[in-house]
Amino acid sequence: MPSPEEIRAVVTRYLEAMSAGDKEGYVALFAPDATIEDPVGTDVHRGHDEIRAFWDMVHTLSSSITLVPTGPARVAGREVAFPMQAISDVGGSKVVVDIIDVFALDDEGRITSMRAFWDPAEMRPYEG
């Protein structure tokens, strides 16, 4: 089982990969049969091919995305929850939304489940 420090390092790599536009680095964080539900309540994406398709869809909507942690990652067993803001460039305007992501990880420290809690109606202009 990964240690709390190893789990927090996965969170850091996740934030860095998305913010750097590193699609393959992002996908590599996930187990081959992992799921993404982003936001919670929408279709679940399963496996590396669907995770790549999810990445492509997100990056079609936004030319850049920066994920900024807004508090500490909370580890419990093989799971972690962490708050962040996603700052996105959509049509030449920057917007921001508050998100809480929850990951479950396997014995190798790969993400097996990612669930993102946020509401598209809460996106607002970024004033940073």
- Active site (catalytic) residues: 14, 38
Q: Which residues, at least 6 apart from 82, have a Cβ–Cβ distance to it below 8 Å?
A: 11, 69, 71, 72, 73, 74, 100, 101
The partner residues of 36 in beta bridges, in order of sequence, read 45, 114
Tell me, what DSSP letter sits at residue 122? Answer: G
